Amino acid sequence: MDFSIKTFDAKNTLDGAKTGCIAVGVYENRKLTQAAQALDSKGAISAALKSGDISGKPGSTLLLRALDGAAATRVLLVGLGNEDTVSDKNFTQAAQATARAFATLGAADGLIALPLAAIKERDVAWAIRCVTLALRENAYRCDSQKSKKEATPEGVKKIAFALGGSTAAVATGARQALAQSVALANGIDLTKDLGNLPANICTPTYLANTAKKLAKDYKFGIEVLDRKQLQALKMGSFLSVTNGSEEPPKFIVLKHMGGKAKDAPTVLVGKGITFDSGGISLKPGAGMDEMKYDMCGAASVLGTFRAIGEMNLKLNLIGVIPTCENMPSGRATKPGDIVTSMSGQTIEVLNTDAEGRLVLCDALSYVERFKPAAVVDIATLTGACITALGHHNSGLFTRHDAAHDALADALLAAGRASGDTAWRMPIEDSYQEQLKSNFADIANIGGPAAGSITAACFLERFTKQYTWAHLDIAGTAWKSGTAKGATGRPVALLTTFLLQRAAG
């Protein structure tokens, strides 16, 4: 899709715009937006509302052809709900409905003339991002492994956003918002693509090669460590997970040093288990195919780097991805085995299906060398988080003090701003009691109670040297059932968080 911004004024009017389709908003109670009024000189739109052809409810649509008084070939009426309170939810429904309608049209180009500045507690930049992501989400396909690609209608490929009576500064801001929205959509698509690929294709080596391509395209620094280097670093916890697999592990380090040389970097750590069988603690067969999604934390880090690379963000950012498979074999780590982490702490592996924390803890020790300003790890870590929060919010965990509260608040705010929301969960010393081991410094599970919290408490033990937060995305990274597929979350949250940090 090709996106652009078009400005309209007294000379260059909306009703004179020659395009395949203009999308304008209508409200409930038969009220028109300003853009709809501009096209209603002959009363056709008012007549459609009066006749009940469109209700104005959020997401309702009506397509009008050859509208008298408009130069456009088609006019798409889109319901926005109540005029007094156009909520972000209602506008999102309208954006999604517009995307669906545009996908079915034979028009080559279209114009979005929805009221971008009229959403409650949101700005024009948010509205542009909302519509852009809805259009790209509707256009996304995952058919790279099909011998016959999915048949899709041509739809509208060139889309412009209409700005009426705007100053040059507003137009410049809108263009910047649009460029960032497209970059974000590209990052989300990469994350989806990686998540949706099968584990026999998306291996640790594949993730490493994807990182190398990003490094080449956007001039990132790149380093990929192999097994011998990991052994030299004494990453015994990470390597214990790799024992049962034929696929070689990789430890990926990406660097985007777009800020000042003296500025401490922000670090993202993504769990990259490209397939999780559970190891010796084997998972049930039903639904095990979805364990190809256990690398969505890694995929979200790569997608975020794709987005900020395109934006050329003025921030120092480092991405760390420990990636491997978790498989059963004669060499696999067994329940009851004790391994030594990079930090020197010993871990009793009571359940080999709690492998994500074993991989992440060594990565979290490794990042101390960067003297980071903040570290955020992202992982499909626990089914318990799905039980607690469902599929709407990612779980956010961090310590309770001023620095960590500030980091949590920034991440939560980025989630609200992007619609990619998270919910803060507790970390308290009382939960650490569940991780006690009779034979090692710590056990890798704490029993069924508060499973997502004890998993976060395990990670917290390896993060004492810096400000840290953990995002459990097990409930948000992918969908099951007929809608099975990666969601691209939490790339929007992470990218918005980084944009806000870069802005100071």
Q: What are the catalytic residues? A: 283, 357
Cβ atoms of residues 101 and 61 within 8 Å: yes
CA-CA distance, 393 to 387, in Å (whole number)?
11
Listed in sequence order, the residues at least 6 apart from 45 whose beta carbon sits closer than 8 Å to its beta carbon are 24, 26, 32, 36, 39, 64, 67, 75, 77
Strands (E), 181-227: 221-225
In degrees and rounded to multiples of 5, residue 391 shows phi and psi of -115, 15
In degrees and rounded to multiples of 5, residue 43 shows phi and psi of 85, 10
CA-CA distance, 340 to 59, in Å (whole number)?
55
Could you tell me which of 391, 358, 394 has the C-alpha nearest to residue 271?
A: 358
Cα 462–Cα 465–Cα 471 angle in degrees, nearest 5: 55
CA-CA distance, 55 to 17, in Å (whole number)?
26
Could you tell me which of 255, 267, 253, 256 has the C-alpha nearest to residue 314?
A: 256
Q: What is the 3-state secondary structure (H, E, C) of 70-125?
A: CCCCEEEEEECCCCCCECHHHHHHHHHHHHHHHHCCCCCEEEEECCCCCECCCCHH
Cβ atoms of residues 91 and 99 within 8 Å: no
Q: Give the DSSP per-residue string, 434-503.
A: GG--SSSSEES---STTHHHHHHHHHHTT-TTS-EEEEE-TTTSEE-GGG-EE--TTHHHHHHHHHHHHH
CA-CA distance, 273 to 245, in Å (whole number)?
11
Could you tell me which of 426, 394, 423, 420 has the C-alpha nearest to residue 409?
A: 423
Question: 418-446: b or e for each residue (b if 16 or more CB lie within 10 Å)?
Answer: bbbbbebbebeeebbebbeeeebbbbbbb
Strands (E), 382-454: 394-397, 422-425, 442-443
Q: What is the 3-state secondary structure (H, E, C) of 230-247?
A: HHHCCCHHHHHHHCCCCC
Q: Give the DSSP per-residue string, 157-184.
A: -EEEEEEES--HHHHHHHHHHHHHHHHH
> In the sheet that 338-340 helps form, which strands lie side by side, from edge to edge?
338-340, 346-348, 442-443
